[in-house]
Structure 1
Amino acid sequence: MEPTNQKFLERVVSQRALQMGSSFPCQICVVGFLCGVCLTSLFLAALTSLGTYGFGGISFSSISMGISPLNSSSEIINVGTSIDCKFKLKETEKWVVSQQRKTESDDERVSLLTEAWGALLTDKADEESEFLQRFGLSKSSIPNAPHLDNCKLSARVKKRLDTRAGAERFPPWTTWKGSLDMFPATAANEQIRHFRHQAISEGAYPPWIVGSDEENYPLTRKVQRDIWIHQHPVNCRDPTVKFLVADWETLPGFGIGAQFAGMCGLLAIAINEKRVLVTNYYNRADHDGCKGSSRSSWSCYFFPETSQECRDRAFELMQTKEAWEKGIIKGKENYNSKEIWTGRIPRVWGDPWSYLQPTTEINGTLIAFHRKMDRRWWRAQAVRYLMRFQTEYTCGLLNIARHAAFGKEAAKMVLATIDREWPKVCSS
Structure 2
Amino acid sequence: MEQTTQKSSLERVVSQRALQMGSSFPCQICVMGFFCGVCITYFFLAALISFGAMESKGVAFSTLSIGILSQNSTSDIGINGDPIPLVRETAWRMNSPRVNEQQDDDKASLLYSAWSVVLNESIDKDGMLLSRSSIPEAPHLENCQLVTQINKFWDNPRENETVPSWTTWKGSLGMELLHQKSTLDKELQGVPHTANTEGAYPPWIEGSDGDNFPLTRKVQHDLWVHQHPTNCSDPKVRFLVADWEKLPGFGIGAQFAGMCGLLAIAINEQRVLVTNYFNRADHDGCEGAQRSRWSCYFFPETSIECQDRAFELMKRREAWEHGTVTAKDNYTSKEIWAGRIPRVWGEPWSYLQPTTEINGSLLRIHRKMDRRWWRAQAVRYLMRFQSKYTCDLMNTARHSAFGLQAAKMVVQSLPPEWPKVCL
- For Structure 1 versus Structure 2, the TM-score category normalised by the shorter chain is 0.7 to 0.9
| Deviations 1:380-425, CA, capped at 9 Å, x for gaps | 0000000000000000000000111111111122111223521111
Asked whether the equivalents of residues 111 and 408 of structure 1 are also in contact (C-alpha less than 8 Å), the reply is yes
Question: Equivalent residue for 1:9?
Answer: 8
Question: Which shifted more, 356-365 or 321-330?
Answer: 356-365
Asked whether the equivalents of residues 354 and 365 of structure 2 are also in contact (C-alpha less than 8 Å), the reply is yes
Alignment of 1:199-214 (within 5 A): 199-200=196-197, 202-214=198-210
- 2:174 is aligned with what amino acid? S
Is 1:341 equivalent to 2:340 in the alignment?
no
- 2:311 is aligned with what amino acid? F
Give me the whole-angstrom Cα distance separating, in 2, the residues matched to 1:213 and 1:142.
40
Question: Equivalent residue for 1:170?
Answer: 163
Question: Equivalent residue for 1:322?
Answer: 318
Question: Equivalent residue for 1:392?
Answer: 388
Give me the whole-angstrom Cα distance separating, in 2, the residues matched to 1:312 and 1:294.
14
| Cα displacement (A) at 1:44 | 10
Alignment of 1:8-87 (within 5 A): 8-11=7-10, 49-51=48-50, 84=54, 86-87=56-57
Question: Equivalent residue for 1:367?
Answer: 363
Give me the whole-angstrom Cα distance separating, in 1, the residues matched to 2:61 and 2:276.
73
Give me the whole-angstrom Cα distance separating, in 2, the residues matched to 1:179 and 1:307.
21
Question: Equivalent residue for 2:69?
Answer: none
Give me the whole-angstrom Cα distance separating, in 1, the residues matched to 2:218 and 2:49.
86
| Cα displacement (A) at 1:14 | 7.8
Question: Equivalent residue for 1:66?
Answer: none
Number of matched residues? 366
Q: Which of 85, 108, 111 is equivalent to 1:110?
A: 108
> Structure 1's 91 and 301: CA in aligned 2 closer, same or farther, altered over 3 A?
farther
Question: Equivalent residue for 1:186?
Answer: 186
Let me know the Cα RMSD of the aligned residues.
Answer: 3.0
| Cα displacement (A) at 1:190 | 4.8
Asked whether the equivalents of residues 202 and 220 of structure 2 are also in contact (C-alpha less than 8 Å), the reply is yes
| Deviations 1:39-71, CA, capped at 9 Å, x for gaps | 9x98997577434xxxxxxxxxxxxxxxxxxxx
> Structure 1's 82 and 109: CA in aligned 2 closer, same or farther, altered over 3 A?
closer
| Deviations 1:242-270, CA, capped at 9 Å, x for gaps | 00000000001100000000000000000
Is 1:150 equivalent to 2:150 in the alignment?
no
Give me the whole-angstrom Cα distance separating, in 2, the residues matched to 1:404 and 1:6.
105
Question: Equivalent residue for 2:153?
Answer: 160
Give me the whole-angstrom Cα distance separating, in 2, the residues matched to 1:359 and 1:91.
73
Is 1:275 equivalent to 2:271 in the alignment?
yes
- 1:347 is aligned with what amino acid? R
> Structure 1's 250 and 100: CA in aligned 2 closer, same or farther, altered over 3 A?
same
Give secondary structure in 2 for the equivalent of 1:358.
coil
| Cα displacement (A) at 1:83 | 5.8
Asked whether the equivalents of residues 162 and 225 of structure 2 are also in contact (C-alpha less than 8 Å), the reply is no
Question: Which shifted more, 109-118 or 96-105?
Answer: 96-105
| Cα displacement (A) at 1:140 | 1.3
Give me the whole-angstrom Cα distance separating, in 1, the residues matched to 2:301 and 2:363.
35
Which stretches in structure 2 are left out of the alignment for 5+ residues? 15-36, 64-91
- 2:367 is aligned with what amino acid? R
Give secondary structure in 2 for the equivalent of 1:243.
strand
| Deviations 1:174-215, CA, capped at 9 Å, x for gaps | 222553230334354554x5332xx21x21100000001000
Is 1:133 equivalent to 2:127 in the alignment?
yes
> Structure 1's 105 and 420: CA in aligned 2 closer, same or farther, altered over 3 A?
closer
| Cα displacement (A) at 1:8 | 4.6
Give secondary structure in 2 for the equivalent of 1:195.
coil
| Deviations 1:136-161, CA, capped at 9 Å, x for gaps | x1211100001100000000110111
> Structure 1's 84 and 311: CA in aligned 2 closer, same or farther, altered over 3 A?
same
> Structure 1's 311 and 420: CA in aligned 2 closer, same or farther, altered over 3 A?
same
Give secondary structure in 1 for the equivalent of 2:362.
strand
Give me the whole-angstrom Cα distance separating, in 2, the residues matched to 1:329 and 1:47.
102
| Cα displacement (A) at 1:168 | 2.6
Give me the whole-angstrom Cα distance separating, in 2, the residues matched to 1:363 and 1:214.
28
Question: Equivalent residue for 1:99?
Answer: 97
Give me the whole-angstrom Cα distance separating, in 1, the residues matched to 2:278 and 2:47.
86
Mark the structure with the bigger radius of gyration: 1
Question: Equivalent residue for 2:117?
Answer: 119
Question: Equivalent residue for 1:292?
Answer: 288
Asked whether the equivalents of residues 175 and 181 of structure 1 are also in contact (C-alpha less than 8 Å), the reply is no
Question: Which shifted more, 345-354 or 363-372?
Answer: 363-372
Work out the percentage of aligned pairs sharing the same amino acid: 57
> Structure 1's 354 and 7: CA in aligned 2 closer, same or farther, altered over 3 A?
farther
Give secondary structure in 2 for the equivalent of 1:133.
coil
> Structure 1's 208 and 85: CA in aligned 2 closer, same or farther, altered over 3 A?
same
> Structure 1's 361 and 48: CA in aligned 2 closer, same or farther, altered over 3 A?
closer
TM-score, normalization by structure 1? 0.79
| Deviations 1:88-136, CA, capped at 9 Å, x for gaps | 577799968611111111000000101111111115x3xx327x8342x
> Structure 1's 320 and 96: CA in aligned 2 closer, same or farther, altered over 3 A?
same
Question: Equivalent residue for 2:78?
Answer: none
Q: Which of 191, 214, 218 is equivalent to 2:214?
A: 218
Question: Equivalent residue for 1:61?
Answer: none
Give me the whole-angstrom Cα distance separating, in 2, the residues matched to 1:155 and 1:362.
45
Asked whether the equivalents of residues 258 and 336 of structure 2 are also in contact (C-alpha less than 8 Å), the reply is yes
